[in-house]
Chains A and B, each alone.
Chain A
Amino acid sequence: MFDFLIEGFGVALTPLNLGLAFLGALLGTLFGALPGIGPINGIAILMPLAYTLGLPAESALILLAGIYTGAEYGGRMSSILLNVPGDAGAVMTTLDGHPLAKRGLAGPALGLSAVASFVGATIAIIGLTLFAPLLARVAVMFGPAEFFALMVFAFSSMSVMMGKDPIKTAIGAVLGVLIGTVGVDSGTGVMRYTFGMPELYDGIDFVVMIIGLFAISEILLMLEHAHRDDVDDKLPPLGRVFVSLKEVMACKGTMLRSGVLGFIIGVLPGTGASVAGAVSYTTEKRLVDKDNTFGTGDMRGLAAPEAANNASAAGSFVPMLTLGIPGSGTTAVLLGALMLYNITPGPMMFTDNPEVAGGLIASLYIGNLVLLALNLPLAGVFAKVLTIPRWVLVPAIAVLSFVGVYQLHSDLTAIYLMLIIGVFGYLLRKLGFSLAPVILGYVLGGLMEENLRRALAISGGDTGILWQSGISLSLWIAASALLVLPWLVPKLLKQRPSSQA
């Protein structure tokens, strides 16, 4: 049964392919670490190159898969060090990662997140090896109604993030959803809030959104910190560089759970690393955050999204390899790469091209080991970014933001939009808003509306379709439990002693 994997390791362990896996991991880390240049762009940029070089199919795929997984590793760096997510999956990583860095624990935070990424990815690759064909069949059972229920679940799990200012969290989420409605309505083709500007037809781009919201507003806040003498925001000296085994073990449950959760979400077509990160973070907060330390630099709050986003990256290979259906933008690009080699991924691939399917999966195992080996010792080096003076750091962030947005749009409107969103983000942060709900609303809101309307288009308006299947019904029950239990449990607990008395 695992012949293809044995053959795959044979393929992946040739010097050429090992070198490519290493190179892919390195380039991917770089692509992921630069804000705005995520895995999709990295792959799209290097894909024609791999083809022009005349690399054989399995080698090209090994290189590109290395970039993909590497980018998920790299995305966390600027999240932790600069509070600017390097890519979509790393938004939640800022919540606890950056506070840790501010406490002088950047090195251990980088180390722990590398371990968490490794654990998450490994869980997912094992899942991919063992259950891919089975999971593919489960994945297609998720139709619009099930996705809608999943989004309801995701929103209700966000209620845990309400924190000390529930009104502002809610407003943030609503604003995020509203920003997500800009553009062509995917159901009817009607333009919403585009003001006749073609640049807005496709909506506000995710990259423009996170770079504006996080990077540009961060620049403005840094100026403020540089200017004010009354707050001492000097970072404590960089302490330890390496994460301790004790810290890793304290997050072991979180990493395992988030890895599994991230993998499952990654397998579903249409949801990706950002949803995986959000759901795992809120789930862990609910499960293990007894002292309410999530958001203030809790190691578990860092481990959860990192394990999950790497797991979801590997999980999105499942529908691509087994059904030939891309589960994410990145796998869509990889699918295109395979087609250049006249290889059509799908159910037949494991029998027709076992060296490609096996080589890819084997290279994922190897790539992950390479990435761990690369990232653990380098944590200390990267942590030094924090000691760079502001007058170097700020221009660097500005240049990266501009290049990231410009190479994606070749258009000034996108850059102006990025600056406007940056000012908006600055104001929100000054007014005591957290940016995570805005981003989550933006990501989840569109999926929620689209899938609700798709489901009702199928049923012709009959709302019964929304809770018809077992999957959606269980998601609805889980969602209502999330909302009701935190309110109900304390009441029940209070009642018990009084009834005994």
Chain B
Amino acid sequence: MKNITALPAALLLGASLSVGTAQAADEAECIAPAKPGGGYDLTCRLAANGLLETGLIEDPMLVTYMPGGIGAVAYNHVNGVRTDDPNLIVAASTGAAVNLALGKFGQYDASEVRWVGALGVDYGAIVVKADAPWQTLDELMTALQEDPTQVAFGAGGSVGSQDWMKAALTAKAADVDPRSLRYVAFEGGGEALAALLGNHIQVFSGDLSELKSQLESGDIRVLAALSEERMGGPYAEIPTAAEQGYDVQWPIWRGYYMGPEVSDEAYQAWVERLENLAGNETFAELREARGLFPMARFGDDFDGYVKDQVADFKELAAEVGLTQ
């Protein structure tokens, strides 16, 4: 008995021995510009575990945390200190693109770094409680048009964050001024979801992947997915906003960038590495386990996508009165 219980302990410590070695100079590294456990951590782990399990890299990839301003600290670090590190990728997402557009990343803009690719995407969702009076997005929009002050929106981010954008875009699609909304900023989607279940807010503009358990239990109704087309699996029943006549899309991509002075060879090597990974079946399972949908944009394609997106967001921010 004693020997058997000691076995897993020894195994685990042994494994931590091999994983935890100090970083060597030529080892791949991913900076998660957040605290451990957040969305960026997940983004880095997706690449790290995926590349290792599919054999695309030999040594485990190091994940470093650099929290601050939804990626602003890491962005400045990569643009100022580790500008040409061929082994370093940094996690980014739609949230980072929004902040780049709002000028919250300091002196640098989106064209500074080299965007490598995205490995997965999540989509925004407009959610109400199961016993809410609105059955479709259209009914909610009509109610909003009649009196926007009767419907309180909530989400896990402040004004100007990507969570807020989902609410603002939805209001805009109904010709309602986003400023006349009732909007409540919570600390993360979990708190906002709790507030929805407790009847403190009426609409939650969240992400599809964080709704799985409430969908199963039937506590909530998703009025619209903010995706191009219907998603599969547990989300098959959810209509898109476009289907219901409202042109709102909100993909939350999870991707990576590299420093501005990284050589073309190193950049190209990473593009190929991620491309190979995205095509792998083992990786597809990993991605799904993290609640992400497939997305495949790499290299110049992704670079252009991000830059276009930032430009769009800039326009949008000016339109809704966030910037001049």
Contact = CB atoms under 8 A, between A and B. Distances in A.
Instruction: Report if A and B touch in the complex (beta carbons < 8 A).
Output: yes
A20 B187 CA distance: 33
Interface in B174-200: 182-188, 190-191, 193-195, 197-200
Contact of B184 (A326, A407, A409, A458): A458
Nearest to A47: B37
A51 B72 CA distance: 30
A186 B77 contact: no
B42 A336 contact: yes
Interface in A397-448: 407-411, 413
B8 A198 contact: no
A325 B190 contact: yes
A340 interface: yes
B75 to A, nearest CB: 8
Contact of A460 (B4, B149, B190): B149
B235 interface: no
Contacts of A201: 68-70, 72-73, 104
Interface stretch (B59-67, B134-142, B248-256, B269-277): B59-67
A454 B52 CA distance: 44
Given A52-B49, A332-B190, A458-B201, A340 B290 contact: yes
Nearest to A333: B37
A410 B65 contact: yes
Interface size class of A (residues with CB under 8 A): 35 or more
B8 A23 contact: yes
A134 interface: no
B260 interface: no
A196 B104 CA distance: 9
Contacts of A48: 19, 45, 48-49, 63
Contacts of A23: 8-9, 12
A346 interface: yes
B1 interface: yes
Interface stretch (B120-128, B156-164, B221-229, B303-311): B156-164
A480 B110 CA distance: 53
B191 to A, nearest CB: 6
Interface string A325-361: 1100100110010011110111111000000000000
A144 interface: yes
Contacts of B198: 140-143
B83 interface: no
A196 to B, nearest CB: 7
A53 B11 contact: yes
A79 to B, nearest CB: 23
B55 to A, nearest CB: 14
Contacts of A378: none
Contacts of B36: 40-41, 44-45, 333, 408
B288 to A, nearest CB: 8
Contacts of B48: 48
Contacts of A200: 68
Interface residues of B, number: 72
Contacts of B15: 49, 52-53
B183 A457 contact: yes
Interface in B210-252: 212-214, 216-217, 219
Nearest to A43: B37
B68 A199 contact: yes
A479 to B, nearest CB: 21
Given A143-B195, A332-B190, A52 B19 contact: yes
A230 B313 CA distance: 66
Given A140-B198, A269-B194, A458-B201, A49 B16 contact: yes
Given A143-B195, A187-B185, A332-B188, A198 B12 contact: no
A409 B65 contact: yes
A18 interface: yes
A499 interface: no
Interface in B286-314: 288-291
A14 to B, nearest CB: 9
A450 interface: yes
B85 interface: no
Interface string B3-29: 011111101100110010000000000
B284 interface: no
24 contacts: A15-B4, A15-B5, A20-B8, A22-B5, A52-B49, A52-B52, A140-B197, A143-B200, A145-B200, A187-B158, A189-B164, A198-B68, A269-B190, A319-B194, A323-B214, A325-B193, A325-B197, A326-B190, A340-B289, A342-B288, A346-B212, A346-B213, A409-B68, A410-B66
- For the complex of A and B, 3 pairs with smallest distance between CB atoms: A346-B213, A44-B36, A201-B69
Given A189-B161, A346-B214, 6 more contacts: A20-B8, A53-B12, A201-B73, A332-B37, A457-B152, A457-B184
